[in-house]
Amino acid sequence: MLVTGASGYLGGAVAARCAAVPAPRVDIRDLGALTALFAVVRPATVIHTATTLGNKGGSSEDLWPVVAAGAANVAVAARSVGARLVHVSSDAIFAGRDAPYTEADVPSPVFDYGAAKAAAEEAVAAVDPGAALVRTSLIVSGGRGELSRHERTCLDLAPGAALFTDEIRCPIAVDDLAAALVALAATDYAGVLNVAGPEALSRHELGVRVAARHGLDPAAVPASTLAASGLRRPGRVVLDSSAAVKLLGLTLRTV
């Protein structure tokens, strides 16, 4: 198995759970270097976790080349050696709504990162219709091990910053997601599969839990709203992961 982004938070957790192939660092924007690596390593399975958030989830020069074109390159390289591909996508592809999103829902991005992730899904599916496209949510520690970027943000808010009460996601423990990706790689499932936490939480609710877990006063966590911020980001995005739970026999923990 080859894991892209193995030096990252999710990729490291995936690599730790399986016999990941040791591989040199390669820029996924470089299709030639990527296909050359795959030709040498010849992995049977590839789990693609590598990504970038750009400028705080917004626009940057490397956002589209890494997120969209990079995913397409990984799919081409995997296809060239007949490898099974599991691609990690995001709930950022949706605009947000009251009802949960299922696998049948089509992307409706409202900001650059979400648009790039949606384009990545489309590219991967076009190159390899047999690939699995895993839509997930905020990835957190679940109270064990290294804190995620989201949890560190909760603990290290800049002066005047606050956490939104109307930005809703389904946080998932990194170990649970890693286990799901490895299990999915062993199946022949193709297409979209939602794998997110079982509980819908606002950014502020997550921050309150993180604060309490680290001995801080939960009541001191500042609150605000996405609506008042003027930021162009999805509001309520809840993923229905019941299909993944049934398919993979998962136990997804609350965080």
Q: Which amino acid is at 243?
A: A
Torsion angles phi and psi, residue 158, rounded to 5: -70, 155
d(CA 50, CA 10): 9
Q: Could you list the pLDDT tens digit for every one of the 255 residues in the chain?
A: 999 999 999 999 999 998 766 767 899 999 999 999 999 999 999 999 999 976 544 446 789 999 999 999 999 999 999 999 999 999 999 999 999 999 999 999 999 999 999 999 999 999 999 999 999 999 999 777 788 888 888 888 877 889 999 999 999 999 999 999 999 999 999 999 999 999 999 999 999 999 998 888 999 999 999 999 999 999 999 999 999 999 999 899 998
Strands 168-169 and 201-202: antiparallel
> Is residue 237 a contact partner of residue 169, using CB atoms and an 8 Å limit?
yes
| C-alpha dihedral, 117 to 119 to 124 to 125, nearest 10° | 110
215-224 burial, b at 16+ Cβ within 10 Å, e below that, comes to eeeeeebeeb
Residue found by looking up tokens 């939480």 in the block: 201
Domain ranges of the chain: 2-139+173-196+239-248
CATH (residue range 2-139+173-196+239-248): 3.40.50.720
